[in-house]
Structure 1
Amino acid sequence: MTSRYAEVHKNPQGPGDARPTAQQIIDDEGLKGQLADRYMLITGASSGIGVESAKALFATGATLYLTGRNLDKTKKALGELASSPRVHILELDLESLSSVRACAAELLSKTKTLNVFIANAGVMATPEGRTKDGFETQFGTNYLSQFLLFLLIRPALLEGAAVTGSDSRIILLSSIAHRYSEVDFENINLDGAYDKWKAYGQSKTALLWAANEIDRRYASKGLRAFSVQPGGIQTGLLQHLSEEEKAGLASDPTLGPQFKSPPQGAATSVWGAVSRSLEGIGGKYLEDVQIAKPYDASEGQWAPGYFPHAYSPAKEKLLWDMSLKILGIEE
C-alpha cells in the first residue's frame, strides 16, 4: 500500500525539502482539535523527533504524557507545551527497569486509558556498556525497557480501545539499522563480540519484531502496533559518532539528500499514530510516511525497505518469550 506521500519521497533534497512534517500530517488528516478525548504517551520527549511528535499531537487536542530522563531539560525542550494542563511530564530513565516501573505506576495513577504509545526514546552506537540491570546498553535501553513499559501500560491501551470503540496504536521506533543484525539469542549482551552497529541493529530488529508480535497477539482486542523507520535526522542520537563519521554520512551522495529535519523525522511516527488510512491495519514496518516495501539491493545500500528477517513469526515469538523470562513476568 502506498500513501499520498509516496511520490514526494522519491527525490529527496535534504532537510526542509518538500517531504511532509509531523504538523503537516495532522493538518492533512484534518485532526486539529479533533482528538480531545484521547490520551497519548511519548517517550524521549526531551529532544529531537520526540519533541516534534509531541508538538504535532498536541494540536489534536489530546492529553499528552511525555517522558524524559531529565525533567528540567524536557520542560525546556517542550517550551510553552510544558505549561499546558493537557501535558504531563514523567521522569523515565530507560537504563533502569525500576525507573520504568515507577514511570508506569505514575502514569496509571493519572489515567486508566491510553490510545497511543510512541516508544521514541533511544541511544545509538554507544561505547560498550551495561544498563543498571546488567543488559547491553543499546538492547536494554532501546528495546527491553520500552517492552517492559508496554507490558505495564497494556491494560490502559486495551481500555482506551474499549472506551473509544477505535483501535489503540503502538509505535515502536525501529531503524534502517535493523538490516545490520538480527537478535543474537545466544549472546544477547554481545559479550566478547561487541560492535556498536551490530548492537544498535539488534535493538532495532528487536523493536520491529516486538511490534509485529504485539499486533499478532492484540489486534483482535483493539490494539494495533507498527514499527517505524523515521529516517536520518541530525539529532542528539548522533552524539556517540565521531565528527568524521558524521561528516561521512552527510556527504554520502545517496544518503545525504535523504536526511530529514526533526519535524520531517517525526512525520512517520505521527502518521502511524493517527492516520485514518491505517485503520484496521497493523504489524507493518513504516518508512517515509508509507508502509515499507522489501529492500532491493540493486537500488543501493541506502535504499528504503526492510530485510527479509523483519517479518519472522517464529523469532518474534522467541523474543517475546525470552523477554518475559528476562523481566520475570509471567503471562
Structure 2
Amino acid sequence: MLSAMIAVVGRPNVGKSSLVNALVGQKVSIVSHKPQTTRHQIQGVVHDPRGQLVFVDTPGIHGDGKRELNRMMNEAAYSAFEGVDVVLFVVDANRWTDEDQQVLSRLKGLQTPVGLVMNKIDRMDDKARLLPTLQRLQALHDFAFIVPVSALRRVQLDALENELFSRAVEGPAFYPEDMVVGHDQRFALAELIREKVVRNLHQEMPYATAVGIERWEVEGRLDRVHAVIWVEREGQKGIVIGDKGQQLRKIGEAARREWERTTDRKLFLQLWCKVKENWSDDLRALGQFGLRPGGD
C-alpha cells in the first residue's frame, strides 16, 4: 500500500483549507475569507485504491508577529515541514506577495520535495496569463512539480493527486479506512462554532476569538454541549451576543444545523460568550485553549 504525509503551507487566504477539503471530499478545515482562520495543524485523509494521502493543513504564514498568537501560528506552520513526504506550497495564481516570498525562503533549504500548487486559476480573467505566470513561478525554485488548480471548481485535483501518489512510499496506512479527519469531535465542533463566529460577524470582529468546549454529554443520538466563545474585550462580547442575544443564537443555530447534517446526530448546543483580556498575547491562555504545544 502506498501512503504519504503531505504538509500544505502558504500565506493566508490562498485557499489551503479549501484545497484540503476538496481533496478529502468533505469539510476538514474551517473556511472563511478572513486571513488566519486556520490556527492548528489539521489532518485530512484521502482513501484511494492506490493507498492513502494524509494532508496536514497549516495556519497561514504571515509577517505580522507582534502577538503570541501570530508567532504560535507561524511556528505551527513551520513545524509541519518536519517528518512529511511532500510539502505543498499553495499560492494564489493571481497574486504574488512579500508573504509568499517569505514562505518560499523557508522552503529553500528543505530536503523534502516541494510541489507548487497555483490555486484559483478559475479567477483569471485572461487565461493567456496562466502560462507566463507558471513560467515566472517555476524560475523561483526547483519545485518537484507545479500543478495549476481551482479548489473551488475542483479543476486539476486528479492531476495533483497523481503527482502526490507518484511520491508516496510503500507502508502501512496512517489511519483506518473509515476515518477522514485526524482530530476528535470536541475539536471539530469548537472549530465549527468559531467558523460561524467569523462568518456571521465579518468585519465587525477581529479574528482573535477562541472557542472552548466546557461540557459534552451523550444521550443516545443526542449530544448536549456547553461551549464558550472567548473574546478579549467587553465591547467584543456585546458584538458576539448581539441585541437581546440574537447574534449568539444565530451563531449557535448555524453550527447546530451543520453539525447535525454532517454527523447525523442531534445537537443541543448551549453557547456563552466570556471575556479574557488579551488572551491572544498570553501564553498560558493559548495553552488553555489548545492553541500551542502543551496546551490542554
**Normalization by structure 2: what TM-score?**
0.32
Question: Which has the larger Rg?
Answer: 2
**Which structure has the highest strand share of the two?**
2
> Taking structure 1 as the reference length, what is the TM-score of the superposition?
0.29
Q: Which structure shows the bigger proportion of residues in helix conformation?
A: 1
